[in-house]
Structure formats: structure tokens, C-alpha cells
Structure 1
Amino acid sequence: MKKVIIITNPTAGHHSRSRISRFVRHLEQAGPRATIARTQYPGHATILARDAAASGLYSHIIAAGGDGTIAEVAAGMIGTSAILGILPLGSANVLAHELKIPFNEIRNAALIQAGHFTTIWPGYLHTKAGRQLFVQMASIGFDAHIVHGTSTRLKAWVGRAAYAVSTLSSLFRFELTEFTVLIDDIPHRATTVIVSKGSLYAGKYELTHHSAHGDRNFSVILFETSGKLALVRTILSLFLGRIGQQKGTRTLTASTVRIPSPAAIPIQSDGDRKGFSPVHLDISASPLHVATGPTPPPAG
């Protein structure tokens, strides 16, 4: 194993210098030297990861933070031979739950040392702001409005509970708008769309029965509900693990999703705000290698 670099986001919801220090200590007991690089602004993790991958000095580039930090690090190293390591320090840590990555620093360090990895196929968002990679999921509509309205300070303080506060606020403030969704160029109508690579949502809640991380496609969940009461029932069904049984939702498989609407519908990916529609989503042409256990995690 070559050296490893740990890219950490000091503003992540549960950033912890002590956890990072323990992780480094156990990692270096097996030999590999670890360099720590701290992000200073949005997008900095991508630059740090790109430079680290280009140097050829590191076998692993480790993202220490939440899903947003992981996506930024992945964007800088995708398509290279470097392996993405994950030390979960965020509020939801959905990808870590999805890929069964240990939260314990000692077991996580042992996983990195073993050198095993799983190959996944992330997605890209294409908006007016440009192309942005996401590793777990993106959404357009009510779900994204919740993310747009979530206070970063409150999220750092109370973690996932901040999303509950924003959900209640969004139920009163957000106006549901029906729009056209082109799924593999076939038109559908919806008020919210979740485009997911994984099977989980907001941590450990089941969104679909199948993870598409190893596939070159998405799971696309269409919310066709138009009233606030129906929307509340749909949200509750999601957190009760019954979204697949809920009337007014459909799950499809696709390799491209396009929402041409110019109506400024909010977008989020991996828990971060990503502007407004129109938007086009597709699968990365290059895979990403992620440090996991010796065998891939079971789908769903």
C-alpha cells in the first residue's frame, strides 16, 4: 500500500478531530503514512482529490465527512486507479450505511489496510451551473426544497433532526408544481422526483429494494401526488419503509433523466443544494472504486 491522504471537511455535521486522530493512529500502525488535508471552501475537496490522484503517491484518498464531502472527493478522483476511502462524519452518512462501511475508526482503518474495494457507477447532474457528480442520490421538487431550507448551523448542531424541522416548514411554504420528466426520453408527470443510485434514504430508511450502485442505471421514484395531505402520507410511508406500497408513487429504472422545466424547481444531490431546473442526469462514463469489505454488500 502506498501513502493515504485524508480530505476532511471541518464544517461537516459531526466533524471530530479526535475521531480522525484515532483513525490515523490505527491506520499508521500498519505502515502507510497518512496526510491530512482540510477543505477551505465548497469544491475544494474536488481540487485536493484531483491533485492527490494525479500525483500517483496515494493508493487511497479518504473522505472524512458527510455525503456532500464524499461526492466532492469522488469528483476529483473518478476514473483513476485510486481507491476512495470513507470515514463517516456527516449528519446522514447514507453511502456509508449503503456500502456497510464501519463507523468505528479501528475497524474502518483495518478495512482500508486490507485493500478491498467495490466498483460503483455514480451519476452526474447537468444544470446551468455545469456538471456535478453525485454518489448516492439527487432529487427535484419537494425533497430538494427541504434541503434548500435546512440551516447548515442547525444541521451541525442537531444532525438529521434539522431535516425534520425543514420538512414541517416546507409543507407550509412549498407549492407543489406538476412538471414533465423525461425518463430515457419517455415523458411522465410528477411533482417530485428522486433519482437514486442506492436503496437507502436519509440514513437507514429503505427507498427501493435494490441498490443500483453496481449498475449503469438509476432507480427513479416518481411522486405523482398533488395535494399536501397526500404528500404527508407519502413522506410518512417513506420513513415507515412502505414507499413501494404507497399510492401515487412509481419506481422506474433509467440511464437518463431530464426535467426541461424552466420553472425554477429546486434540486439537491447528496444532501447539498444544487440550484434549480432545468436539469439533466446521466451515469458517469467512468467507475469509482470504494474501499469496502472483501465482498460487495448485498443489493437492497
Structure 2
Amino acid sequence: MKYEKVFLIGNPIAGGSAFKKITKAENILKNKGVSVETLLTEKQGDAERFAKQIKGSKILVIAAGGDGTYNEVVNGLAFSQIPMAVLPMGTTSVLAKELKIPKNTEKAIDIALKGRVQKIHLGRIKNKEKQRLFILMAGIGFDALAVFNVDSQKKRYFKKIAYILSGIKTLLNYAPTELRISNSEIKKAFSAVVCNASCYGGSFKLAPDADLRKPCFYAFLSQTRSKFELALQISGVIFGKHIKMRNTEYFRTEFLEITGDAHVQIDGDYFGKTPAQIEIVKDALNLVFPEE
């Protein structure tokens, strides 16, 4: 066994039966002879705080939850040598889909213990109030407003449907302001998604060229005010045709500065508002991948 101890950081209300799955995972680990300590979150920020307190060598942290839980653990473990594995059980668990981690608890635990540990690059976003690391993406404009509009009670009980309903409501009332997006040149758009990973909203490939092991982002811009055209672009994402659609732009970058008045989300959770700066942070996290 290459790990002397495993810390299982879990969100007991993620998805539906998360607490049962976390307990099952704990039992699987113990049956394999692994020393395990389970840390259950009660409120936002707990997972990050738990991760920051973990020290030592030959230690593995398994983040059990959805993308919000993963983001917190990432912010707690970044720049340490302690690897992170994921156990999917959240509303979407996009990171698990990116890594091809199965929902089956036994198989996911097996990958966590036996998988390859690789250095990955993270995103860092800053606005006037705060800064934070992200692992998947930063969304500015439409999708961030949809996240902002999600009813917390509906999210708890209706899971992914709550996001879909919020997206429909947001689209019907869509009235964006123009964004200025700068790296080596200035681009104009009404919505943007800066991707560190290829998957988005599930298994949809918003940035098919993005990879956690590449030291760059791939940005997708929507350059239309039209609700109808935006709806077409969203359907284009579903069918993998969005990159070639009119009033869109897709490019590689390591840094972006975004000005304008828009909401921002990172890894599916609300972050705040623009203006914001986004940069790649190289070799920032040890992450467990399935053996190829």
C-alpha cells in the first residue's frame, strides 16, 4: 500500500444518498486494510479548512461530493505534495466525468488507491474583493447569472434540474452588457467560459482541446445579444457544433483580464462580479488519474 493514511473529506448532503455512499467508501477502505479518517462537512468552507490542516507524507485525500466540494479541497491542498482523488456523488461531478471516474463506489476507491498521480495546472481568478483557485472553468455572463439565480432549496431537492430551470429562466430574461476581454489583444463578447478542462455541465465538451495537464486555458466566447442565437449556441454545445458557429470565438490563452458588469462562477459555484483577472497556475496540484 503506497498510502499510510487516507483522509475522506465528504459532503453528506451532496447528490441524494451521499452519507450512505461515504459510509460505504469508509468501510471499503477499512476492509482493504487502509487507515482512514472521515471528515464530514457541515457548511461552506469546511472542506477547504479540513484539507489545509492535513500534513505528512504517504497521505491521500479523497474528496467525496460534487464540484463544489472538489473546488474547496483543491484550494486547501494546492501547492502541497498531498495527492487528491475524487469520489463522485454531487449534482453534476463534472471533474469525475473529465477524469472518467465511475460512479460505482468500489471502482472509484480502487482508482483512488491505485491510480497515477500527476501534476496538474489550476486557474486563479481575482476580482476587487478576493481571489480563488479553480480546477474546471470560470464562467462570465450567462452561465454565471444562471448559477446566481439557482434557488438553494431547489438545488438541494431537485439537483441538476434546478440548474436547468434557472438556465431557462435566465435565457428568457437575458439582457447582457458587453464585456472587454484582454490578453495580447482586446476582444468583445457578452458571455465567456474560460476552460481548464474539456467537460462542461456534465459530459459536454465545451473546450475539446482543454486538458488539466496542459499549462493553458481554452476560452469560448459568445458574441451575441440575441436570446435566440444564444439558444442556438447552447444547442451547439450539446451537439458539439458550437466552435464553428457564427458570433463565437475559441482560443488558447494563459491569462485574461475581463472588464464590464457581469456575474462570475467558478467550478459551478458563484464567485462574484467583474472586473476580474484569470491566470494559469502551473504544477499546482497532485491529482489521481485512472491507470491507462
Same fold (TM over 0.5): yes
Q: So what's the TM-score if we normalise by structure 1?
A: 0.92
Give a deviation string over 1:208-229, Cα, whole Å, max 9, x none.
Answer: 2223211111010011112111
- Matched with 1:72 is 72
- Matched with 1:289 is 286
Write the distance in 2 (CA, Å) between the matches of 1:246 and 1:162.
28
% same residue: 28
Write the distance in 2 (CA, Å) between the matches of 1:212 and 1:186.
24
Aligned length: 290
Give a deviation string over 1:241-272, Cα, whole Å, max 9, x none.
Answer: 221232111110000011122x2x10001110
- Matched with 2:142 is 142
Write the distance in 2 (CA, Å) between the matches of 1:196 and 1:15.
30
Query: Does structure 2 retain, via aligned residues, the 8 Å contact 1:15–1:65?
Result: no
Q: Displacement, 1:11?
A: 3.6
Query: Does structure 2 retain, via aligned residues, the 8 Å contact 1:49–1:73?
Result: yes
Alignment RMSD, CA only? 1.5
Give a deviation string over 1:122-173, Cα, whole Å, max 9, x none.
Answer: 1011112311111001110011111111122212222222111111111233
- Matched with 2:274 is 277
**Aligned-partner residue type, residue 41 of structure 1:** K
- Matched with 1:185 is 184
- Matched with 1:253 is 252
Moved more, 166-175 or 199-208: 166-175
Give a deviation string over 1:17-41, Cα, whole Å, max 9, x none.
Answer: 1111111111222222111112232
In structure 2, list runs of 5 or more residues that go unmatched.
none
- Matched with 2:207 is 208
Q: How does 1:215-226 map to 2 (within 5 A)?
A: 215-226=214-225
**Aligned-partner residue type, residue 206 of structure 1:** K
In structure 1, list runs of 5 or more residues that go unmatched.
296-300
Write the distance in 1 (CA, Å) between the matches of 2:211 and 2:257.
19
- Matched with 1:43 is 45
Residues 27/170 of structure 1: CA separation in 2 closer, same or farther (3 Å cut): same
Write the distance in 2 (CA, Å) between the matches of 1:109 and 1:18.
15
Query: Does structure 2 retain, via aligned residues, the 8 Å contact 1:27–1:110?
Result: no
Q: How does 1:1-300 map to 2 (within 5 A)?
A: 1-14=3-16, 16-52=18-54, 55-56=55-56, 59-182=59-182, 184-261=183-260, 263=261, 265-295=262-292
Write the distance in 1 (CA, Å) between the matches of 2:113 and 2:208.
31
